[in-house]
Amino acid sequence: MKNGISNKKMVAMVLVSGLWGLVPAFGAIILIGPTTNNGSFESPVMGDVADQQTVPGSWTKTQPGTWPPYYVGLSQYHNGERPHASEGTQFLLMNNNGIYQTISATAMAGSIYSLAADYGNGDSGRTGNPDTYTFTLDAVNPSNPGDVVNLITGIVYNIDDSTWRTYSGTSAPVDIAQNGWNLRLTLSVPAIWSTIDNVNLTVPEPAGLLLLGLGALPVLARRRRHTAGTA
Ligand SMILES: [Ca+2]
Ligand SMILES: [Ca+2]
């Protein structure tokens, strides 16, 4: 073989690289989680005295106004009760407000994003006020912040019975037009005393690996054309 790599070896390489893209051997990439970008609202750590604290630096208030009627805080105890977090010891407590976070990783064409978050009234002292939660993942054009393409929108309603429930949603593959755009996650509630914890934003299928697998196909096609032309 003057070309060094036999057709049989080339076919094997294509098969292996193709499988490489399909098998989630490296697991999901975590963009927000209990220990990543404060997805569990554990930071800053609260002392035993404080009941509530303003939203930490990793998240920004949607509505900068203060109570009443706008409220964003971290809660650990309410009226002397023990923690009711679904993950860790603290959770997000909001009223008529929202928070958002722009993730350092940018949107990647072909990637699928998964969002999961626990919602409900973790603060059992505030039951009796039904809640509507909106979970939104957007791609934002870095050169024009007003240019926004929605990737995930989830709206859930909670009867407020002190039980944590889990929302989960998945995006369609990101279009090439949004490749490199910023990713912004927003959690918002109209009212009343709504709690969120354990936010997880992940990329279940690393698009780069899938593209690596598909990328070997044109190589094989070119090689076949070359072989046919010189035979
Ligand atoms: Ca937590
Ligand atoms: Ca409520």
The bound ligand whose nearest atom lies closest to the alpha carbon of 93 is: 2
List, for residues 176-200, the tens digit of each pLDDT value.
999 999 999 999 998 788 899 999 9
Task: Check whether residue 79 and residue 112 sit in a common domain.
Answer: yes
Ligand 2 centre to CA of 113 (Å) is 28
Task: Check whether residue 193 and residue 129 sit in a common domain.
Answer: yes
Ligand 2 centre to CA of 194 (Å) is 4
Ligand 2 centre to CA of 105 (Å) is 33
List, for residues 27-56, the tens digit of each pLDDT value.
789 999 999 999 999 888 766 545 567 787
Ligand 1 centre to CA of 29 (Å) is 20
Query: What is the distance between the alpha carbons of residues 189 and 93, in angstroms, rounded to a whole number?
Result: 10
Ligand 1 centre to CA of 46 (Å) is 12
Task: Check whether residue 211 and residue 99 sit in a common domain.
Answer: no
The one-character DSSP state at 4 is S
Ligand 1 centre to CA of 199 (Å) is 9
Residue given tokens 């094989």 in the structure block:
220
List, for residues 78-126, the tens digit of each pLDDT value.
555 556 889 998 889 888 999 999 999 999 999 999 999 999 876 766 7
Q: What pLDDT, on a 0 to 100 scale, did the predictor assign at position 18?
A: 43
Task: Check whether residue 99 and residue 49 sit in a common domain.
Answer: yes
- pTM, full prediction: 0.76
> Encoding tokens for residue 24?
């989630």
- Number of folded domains that form the chain: 2
Domain that holds residue 131: 28-205
Element counts in the chain: helices (H) and strands (E): 2, 12
Q: Which residues contact 40 (CB under 8 A, 6 or more apart)?
A: 33, 34, 85, 87, 88, 90, 91, 197, 198, 199
First vs last C-alpha separation in the chain? 13
The bound ligand whose nearest atom lies closest to the alpha carbon of 38 is: 1
The bound ligand whose nearest atom lies closest to the alpha carbon of 196 is: 1
Task: Check whether residue 90 and residue 189 sit in a common domain.
Answer: yes
Task: Check whether residue 95 and residue 3 sit in a common domain.
Answer: no
The bound ligand whose nearest atom lies closest to the alpha carbon of 189 is: 2
Task: Check whether residue 37 and residue 20 sit in a common domain.
Answer: no
Q: Per-residue pLDDT for 67 more than 90?
A: no
Q: In 3D, which of 105, 110, 115, 113 has the Cα closest to residue 209?
A: 110
The bound ligand whose nearest atom lies closest to the alpha carbon of 131 is: 2
The bound ligand whose nearest atom lies closest to the alpha carbon of 122 is: 2
Task: Check whether residue 109 and residue 213 sit in a common domain.
Answer: no
CB atoms within 10 A of CB 59: 23
Q: Which CATH number goes with the domain that contains 52? A: 2.60.120.260
**Burial environment of residue 43 by CB neighbours within 10 A (0 to 12, 13 to 18, 19 or more):** middle
Contact status, residue 130 vs residue 86, Cβ threshold 8 Å:
no
